[in-house]
């Protein structure tokens, strides 16, 4: 292949592209190229934002693991059970 991409477009999209072609005088390939370039630029920007967020979350997690005290599994289970018990008691009072 010589760097060509073959797209299978439905009639609606072909009609819209032809309308744009008539409006601005560009070729069909030129219009599709602009659409795809815009799409991939947006996707790349979104991916970069996600990568920045993910990296920041990993750094935050590593910092937390180093600086904050770790909680034993049994203590977490005890806290969860206490929260569930309290919620049940509060909901039982509302149900009656």
**How many Å apart are CA 12 and CA 66, to the nearest integer?**
57
Q: Is the pLDDT of residue 63 over 90?
A: yes
d(CA 53, CA 37): 24
Q: Please say whether the dihedral angle defined by the alpha carbons of residues 62, 68, 70 and 75, taken in this order, is positive or negative.
A: negative
Q: Is pLDDT above 80 for 50?
A: yes
- Asked if 14 contacts 8 with a C-beta cutoff of 8 angstroms, the reply is no
Q: Residue 26, SS3?
A: coil
* Average confidence (pLDDT) over 69-81: 94
pTM over 0.75: no
Copy the structure tokens of residue 2.
């010589």
In this prediction, residue 1 carries a pLDDT of 45
Residue % of the chain over a pLDDT of 70: 88
Q: Tell me which of 4 and 92 has the higher pLDDT.
A: 92
């Amino acid at each position: 292949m010589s760097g060509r991409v073959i797209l299978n477009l439905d009639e609606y999209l072909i009609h819209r592209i032809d309308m744009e072609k008539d409006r601005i005088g560009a070729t069909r390939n030129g219009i599709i190229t602009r659409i795809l370039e815009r799409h991939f630029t947006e996707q790349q920007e979104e991916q970069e934002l996600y990568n920045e967020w993910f990296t920041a979350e990993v750094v935050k997690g590593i910092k937390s693991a180093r600086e904050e005290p770790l909680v034993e599994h049994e203590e977490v289970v005890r806290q969860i059970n206490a929260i569930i018990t309290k919620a049940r008691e509060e909901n039982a009072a509302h149900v009656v």
